[in-house]
Structure 1
Amino acid sequence: MENFIVSARKYRPATFETVVGQQHITGTLKNAIKNNQLAQAFLFCGPRGVGKTTCARILAKTINCTSLTAEQEACGTCESCVSFQTGHSFNFHELDAASNNSVDDIRSLIEQVRIPPQAGKYKIYIIDEVHMLSANAFNAFLKTLEEPPSYAIFILATTEKHKILPTILSRCQIFDFNRIQVEDISGHLNKIAQRENIAVEADGLHIIAQKADGGLRDALSMFDQIVSYTNKNLTYKSVIDNLNILDYDYYFKLTQHLTATDVSHTLILFDEILNNGFDGNNFINGLASHLRNLLVAKDPQTTKLLEVSENIKQKYISQSQQTPVSFILTALNLANQCDLNYKNSKNQRLQVEMALIKMCHIPSVLQLASQPLTNTATDPDQIKKKTSISTEQSSFTAPATSVAESPVPVNLPPVIPAEVNPTVNIPKKTPPPSSKIVLNPISLAQQSKVAMLVPSLNGIQNNAEGADGDEPKYITGSDKEIFTQDQLLLYWNQYTSMVKEANRINVYTLMSTSVPILEKPDEILVQVEHKLQEDLLQEEMIDLLNFLRPRLKNFSIYIKTKQVVKEVVNRLYTSTEKYQYLVEKNPKLEEMRRRFNLDVNP
């Protein structure tokens, strides 16, 4: 049986022209050879499988070739090229620093450098994985690397540039290898498939190229594996099954279910994905990538950012035209939050399902938010229509009054009830159960402002209660009554007593020692001594304002802080004052002074 050679070795580039995706490196090296401007030391750095060692070997073969082509490529037929290809060249030395990283190994290398080449112009030394050298080995190598003989050229290769000493970096020409693009990898795999008579699908090669993450060697390894699995018939389906990758079709179907607010089919599809052995975290990350591709496909100028085959690209463009940008952005945010909370959750499946359910309700929320808000409080027809709705249909019922039904969208800030229309006669104390209070809706801009002040429905209920708790009072952003310093201190002390009863000692100490000052009709100044107190007051700001505003009947008040450093009085004390202080500490000191007839120095 013929010995099998993996594609990564069989199709390893032998010339600069055949190197894939590193044209900026190969072009620079060919120009350096052409102009005879070769550096004494090169450093090739970049991720794995992008061609660092390959380019080092091609450079070593090319600079010793005696019959260079017009394109500055090695001829491959001269004595130097043949000896290099057969592994018998005395001018080429390759050292694996991962296993030869001691000082003795570097000293042995330095001894070899002293011997000039017997045939050829240069002696080339390739040190692979140079970051594995010890600190002492680096120091032993410094002098030789800085002033090598004219015939010696060092080529260092590494995947971790940050681990190399700065003194080494300053002595080398640094070449940064890029990750190979998906299109370049899939094109190279297609050429190999044609040479090996392998039937392939373009979509399958694109999946391999994406999975390789810019490394051609990884792509060739996966290519060989799938060719063996499919018996030289590489299809998109076989690649998906072999590499355990979620199919694009799953995400296209899922997006259709999400935009159609079909919760049932969405959860069923997610369950099918889990039953196929896929992890929930990988699924949510894949969904985020799918939504990102939809957003990119919205604009023809950014379509080139899609690293997929032409067939899949057309699917993305088609679905992106049917999906609103607002939906994509909101779903991306939900997917990102789910990914952040996934690892810390004890019920990880529920985390993903909750995110999917929220995504399903995005269209209805957006539709509700886009509807114009009408002022029902000033429209008698609307009031009559609202009051005709039965109590059972209301969304929630209070003991004294019932609020008309209004759907609350998901993730929208709560709405504070506005003033009741004065034209409607509503009893203050105990209205009949069937009575309705029609509320004046506020704008979304006001809602966002209110959401920063009232974080929950409980906050709405607390604000609706009066200062005495006996009569509901509705406030809006337009309420702005003038109050005095005494009124401010009254409610400030009430809140201080509340935090004390709640055993919140830090807040109680801060509020009891810091007296608020009413500088302007809407501005309250609180002086603090240091940054910790200021941060503590900022954390308490929302609850404190929610307490003060309805009681002071002023929705525009705000609190600002100012750090005040207490002045420390320094004075010079006389000897007598110092002695009196010591006597207060120890009265026997006076007895000792009298016994020995001592005086206090002035």
Structure 2
Amino acid sequence: MENFIVSARKYRPATFETVVGQQHITGTLKNAIKNNQLAQAFLFCGPRGVGKTTCARILAKTINCTNPTAEMEACGQCDNCLSFQNGHSFNVHELDAASNNSVDDIRSLIEQVRIPPQAGKYKIYIIDEVHMLSQSAFNAFLKTLEEPPSYAIFILATTEKHKILPTILSRCQIFDFNRIQVEDIASHLSTIAQRENIAFESDGLHIIAQKADGGLRDALSMFDQIASYANKNITYKAVIDNLNILDYDYFFKLTSYLTAAEVSQTLLLFDEILNNGFDGNNFINGLASHFRNLLVGKDASTIKLLEVSENIKQKYLDQCRQTELSFLLTALNLANTCDLNYKNSKNQRLQVELALIKMCHIRSVVNLAQQPLSPNNTATDVDQDKKKTNVVAGQEETTKPKTESENTVQAVAPVAKSAVLPNIPAEEKPKETPRVGPPPSATSISINIPKPNAISTLIPSLNDLDRVAQEDDDKGPKKVTGEAREPFSYDRLLEVWNAFTQKMKATDKINLFTILNNFAPTLLNPELIEISVESKTQEHLVQQESVELLNFLRNELSNFGVEVTYKLVERKIENRLYGNREKYDYLVNKNPKLDELRRRFNLDVNP
């Protein structure tokens, strides 16, 4: 029975020309040999399986070849080449620093360096995994590496350049090996498959190349494994089954469900994926990669970033034409947030399902955000042309919707806050009818219609639904009108101001609480409030919450003409010595959590 040789060894490159994906290094080495400008020490660094040791062996073989070709390749026929290929060369020494990393091993190597070559021009020492050498071994090696004999050349190889001493790095010519491109790996695998009479599909080889993550040795190992699994017929299905990879079709189908807002189909497909043995974290990462590929397929200049086969690339191009850019950006953000929170979640499946449900509603939220809102619009979830009937103490009361000037709508059932606001022509608006009978029942709700420039506050962020829901629970039905302009005193302003700062403190918005608590507001005129800040950064922080601040002030003060302005001020620092208690009180004022920390650890403040 013939011994089987794995492809990684059988098809290991023997010349610079056959090295895959490292042309920038092989070209440099060939020119150095041609011009007789070889350094005394080389350092080959890069990821695993990209050809570092292979290039070191090819270099060692080529510089001792007695009859190199015009392209500076080893002839493979001279005595030196034959002895090297048979493993009997006395001029090439390999040392595995992972298992020979002591000072004694390096001293033994240095003793061998003193002996000149008996045949050939150079003695080459290849030290693999050189970063594994001990500190003392590195120090023992320094002098020899800096001033070796003229016939000695050292080739060091490592996957972790950052672990090598700077004194070693400064004595070497450094060559950084790149991860091999997916196309190069797939092309090399197809060549090997043809030589081995193995049937293959291009899509299957591309999946292997992507899974290898730039390492050709890993790709060849998977290639051998799947060739055995599929009985020398490498198909796309055989690859994804053997390597436990999610099929592209899952993501294409899922994206169509998400854009169509089919929540039930989306959750059923995710359940099928989990039942097939795939992890939720791998799924959400794969979905994010799918959205990324759709995003780069949007622009003709970035299509080259799609590292997939032509067949799959065409599917991406077809789907990216049917998917909006706003959907892809929002979905990418949701997938990234889900990935960050996945490991810390106690219900990981729910974490992914919640992200998928949010993705299903991206289009509806974006469409709502794009709808214009005019001051003449009113919102209700019932037909405004119908009459509303309230029965109070057995008496029937019939009312009509109120006029535009009041900007309020009375409804028997609670009204959804995110309801679409219909446009009502001015000539069709019902006239105001005086109220007859007792006041409305407790179930009726009044809704304030915001100004046109506040439309963004109606649409919650998909990433902040929890906060919006909590705020909605805290807000009771409060009747206010958009035309209210009740005057208020400065004392009333301070009372409302302090209530808002305490609300910020209770919701853990400590930065905003500290800024607003530093200076009392100034009432420049009956409706203009000046906020003092110490920097542009503080002003920006307050502006981020300005919508919530204005809504709070206007509601509590019953004055919708209230506006705010900002003023940069400098805090006056008194030139005096402060005691420990004063310092502590100042710090607590800046960050109230400091006092909680003191109580938790039972600490005292020195007088």
For the residues of structure 2 that align with 1:327 and 1:316, how far apart are their CA atoms? Answer: 15
Instruction: Give deviations 1:41-75, integer Å, cap 9, x for gaps.
Output: 11100000000000000000000101000110000
User: Is the contact made by 2:414 and 2:443 (CA closer than 8 Å) also made in structure 1?
Assistant: no
Give the match for residue 90 of structure 1.
90
CA, structure 1 residues 34+522, in 2 after alignment: closer, same or farther (shift >3 Å)?
farther
For the residues of structure 2 that align with 1:504 and 1:434, how far apart are their CA atoms? Answer: 34
Query: Alignment RMSD, CA only?
Result: 4.3
For the residues of structure 2 that align with 1:200 and 1:385, how far apart are their CA atoms? Answer: 64
Give the match for residue 446 of structure 1.
454
Matches for 1:117-266 after TM superposition, within 5 Å: 117-266=117-266
TM-score of the aligned structures, taking structure 1 as reference length: 0.79
CA, structure 1 residues 483+435, in 2 after alignment: closer, same or farther (shift >3 Å)?
closer
CA, structure 1 residues 542+509, in 2 after alignment: closer, same or farther (shift >3 Å)?
same
For the residues of structure 2 that align with 1:154 and 1:451, how far apart are their CA atoms? Answer: 66
- Offset, 1:515: 4.0
For the residues of structure 2 that align with 1:349 and 1:503, how far apart are their CA atoms? Answer: 29
Give the match for residue 67 of structure 1.
67
For the residues of structure 1 that align with 2:514 and 2:329, how far apart are their CA atoms? Answer: 45
User: Is the contact made by 1:295 and 1:328 (CA closer than 8 Å) also made in structure 2?
Assistant: yes
Instruction: Decide which moves more: 534-543 or 72-81.
Output: 534-543
- Offset, 1:178: 0.4
User: Is the contact made by 2:494 and 2:521 (CA closer than 8 Å) also made in structure 1?
Assistant: yes
Residue identity in the other structure for 2:555 = P
2:436 corresponds to 1:430: no
- Offset, 1:447: 2.9
Give the match for residue 582 of structure 2.
none
Residue identity in the other structure for 2:250 = Y
User: Is the contact made by 2:50 and 2:180 (CA closer than 8 Å) also made in structure 1?
Assistant: yes
Residue identity in the other structure for 2:162 = H
2:407 corresponds to 1:402: no
Where 1:38 maps in the other structure, the secondary structure is: coil
Where 2:105 maps in the other structure, the secondary structure is: helix
User: Is the contact made by 2:297 and 2:306 (CA closer than 8 Å) also made in structure 1?
Assistant: yes
2:574 corresponds to 1:567: yes
Give the match for residue 473 of structure 1.
480
CA, structure 1 residues 447+282, in 2 after alignment: closer, same or farther (shift >3 Å)?
same
For the residues of structure 2 that align with 1:423 and 1:27, how far apart are their CA atoms? Answer: 86
Higher gyration radius (CA): 1
Give the match for residue 580 of structure 1.
none
Residue identity in the other structure for 1:182 = V
- Offset, 1:301: 2.0
Residue identity in the other structure for 2:302 = T
Give the match for residue 103 of structure 2.
103
CA, structure 1 residues 465+458, in 2 after alignment: closer, same or farther (shift >3 Å)?
farther
Instruction: Give deviations 1:436-455, integer Å, cap 9, x for gaps.
Output: 96864644x52336789997
Instruction: Decide which moves more: 364-373 or 203-212.
Output: 364-373
> Aligned to 2:494, which of 465, 474, 489?
489
CA, structure 1 residues 111+403, in 2 after alignment: closer, same or farther (shift >3 Å)?
farther
2:533 corresponds to 1:522: no
| Structure 1 unaligned residues grouped into runs of 5+ | 393-399, 415-420, 467-471, 571-602
- Offset, 1:474: 2.7
Residue identity in the other structure for 1:524 = E
Give the match for residue 548 of structure 1.
553
Instruction: Give deviations 1:103-146, integer Å, cap 9, x for gaps.
Output: 11111111111111111111111111011111111111111111
User: Is the contact made by 1:92 and 1:125 (CA closer than 8 Å) also made in structure 2?
Assistant: yes
Residue identity in the other structure for 2:454 = Q
- Offset, 1:85: 0.9
Residue identity in the other structure for 2:160 = E
CA, structure 1 residues 362+60, in 2 after alignment: closer, same or farther (shift >3 Å)?
same
Give the match for residue 368 of structure 1.
368
Instruction: Give deviations 1:339-397, integer Å, cap 9, x for gaps.
Output: 12211111111111111122222233333333443554499xx99961416579xxxxx
Where 1:271 maps in the other structure, the secondary structure is: helix
CA, structure 1 residues 13+23, in 2 after alignment: closer, same or farther (shift >3 Å)?
same
- Offset, 1:550: 3.0
CA, structure 1 residues 271+501, in 2 after alignment: closer, same or farther (shift >3 Å)?
closer
Where 1:174 maps in the other structure, the secondary structure is: strand
Where 1:124 maps in the other structure, the secondary structure is: strand
CA, structure 1 residues 171+480, in 2 after alignment: closer, same or farther (shift >3 Å)?
farther
For the residues of structure 2 that align with 1:273 and 1:462, how far apart are their CA atoms? Answer: 39
Instruction: Give deviations 1:545-571, integer Å, cap 9, x for gaps.
Output: 55434344244225667552431248x
User: Is the contact made by 1:480 and 1:556 (CA closer than 8 Å) also made in structure 2?
Assistant: no
Where 1:67 maps in the other structure, the secondary structure is: coil
**Percentage of identical aligned residues:** 67
User: Is the contact made by 1:463 and 1:547 (CA closer than 8 Å) also made in structure 2?
Assistant: no
User: Is the contact made by 2:368 and 2:459 (CA closer than 8 Å) also made in structure 1?
Assistant: no
For the residues of structure 1 that align with 2:163 and 2:386, how far apart are their CA atoms? Answer: 77
Where 1:386 maps in the other structure, the secondary structure is: coil
For the residues of structure 1 that align with 2:370 and 2:59, how far apart are their CA atoms? Answer: 64
For the residues of structure 2 that align with 1:73 and 1:134, how far apart are their CA atoms? Answer: 36
For the residues of structure 2 that align with 1:67 and 1:160, how far apart are their CA atoms? Answer: 36
For the residues of structure 1 that align with 2:501 and 2:311, how far apart are their CA atoms? Answer: 67
Give the match for residue 594 of structure 2.
none
CA, structure 1 residues 436+342, in 2 after alignment: closer, same or farther (shift >3 Å)?
closer
User: Is the contact made by 2:200 and 2:234 (CA closer than 8 Å) also made in structure 1?
Assistant: yes
Where 1:568 maps in the other structure, the secondary structure is: coil
Give the match for residue 388 of structure 1.
386
Give the match for residue 600 of structure 2.
none
Instruction: Decide which moves more: 236-245 or 348-357.
Output: 348-357
Where 2:185 maps in the other structure, the secondary structure is: helix
Instruction: Give deviations 1:445-466, integer Å, cap 9, x for gaps.
Output: 5233678999747867988988
